[in-house]
Structures are given as C-alpha cells and as structure tokens.
Amino acid sequence: MSRSLLSLLFALFFLLSCGTSDKERIEQVLNRRAEALDKKDLSLYISCVSKSYQDKGEDFDHLRNRIEGYFRTFDRIAYGCTDRSVQIAGDEATAIQQFHMEVEQGGKKRSHTGKEAILLRREAGEWKIVKGL
C-alpha cells in the first residue's frame, strides 16, 4: 500500500512540476508583445493587452490606435529587451526591463533605448498588460 501511495505522490508531483508558472506565463506575454512589434502584427500585440488598459490618460482604444499608427508609419520596427525582472503579488505583476527599439521610415533609422515598467493583471486566468506601454 505504501508503495502505491508513493507512486501516486510521485506522479502528482511530476504533473504539478510540468505546469507553466505565472512568471513563465508573464514572460510569454512580454515575448509575444516583442514579437508583435517586430512583425508589426496588431492582432498579436492587442492580444497581450487588457481591455481595461489605462495609463497616462490613454485607454485600450487609444493605445490600439497609437500602435496601429506606428505600424502604418514605420517600414520596420526592431524591438528587444534585456535585464527583465518580474515581481508577482497575487493577481498583479510588474515587469521591469531595459529595451532597445529601432524604427525605420523612408530609409532613415532612429533608435530608442530605455527602461520600462509594465504592469500586468491576471484576468480570467490569463496575464494581460494593464499599464506602462
């Protein structure tokens, strides 16, 4: 009996350890956002953002319009980030990272480098960006 209980506990532990952690899910959202910028894919970008997004007077619709404008304006966008840290407190998280973005329009290149703090919230089991873009 104890052997079968041990086997059951081992199997349960294995299944639990195979799950994706909140930190990994948040990393996936942030990586999808980066991919969306590189591909200029508005649908992919918006899939990372909460409908309740609100930052500096900008709501979800204004953010979508701004990003859509960037995708139309720039011929190329290259975005990358480094030194990412993620802090989770219940259903909210903050990701702080260094970023580098290069945009090209009509053969002219501009680059922007800085540090960004992105706030996320778990909504219906999924992490979404709610502030900081």
pLDDT band, residue 3 (cuts 50/70/90): low
Taking only Cα atoms into account, the Rg of the chain, rounded to an integer number of angstroms, comes to 19
Report the DSSP beta bridge partners of residue 113: 100
120 closest CA partner among 87, 81, 72, 79: 87
- Which CATH number does 21-131 carry? 3.10.450.50
Residue at 122: amino acid letter: R
Q: Are 110 and 102 in contact (CB under 8 A)?
A: yes
pLDDT tens figures, 9-31: 454 444 444 457 999 999 999 99
pLDDT at 106 over 70: yes
Q: Where are the domains of the chain?
A: 21-131
DSSP state of 51: T
Q: How far apart are CA 31 and CA 55, in angstroms?
A: 21
pLDDT tens figures, 55-100: 999 999 999 999 999 999 999 999 999 999 999 999 999 999 999 9
> Above pLDDT 90, what percent of the chain?
84
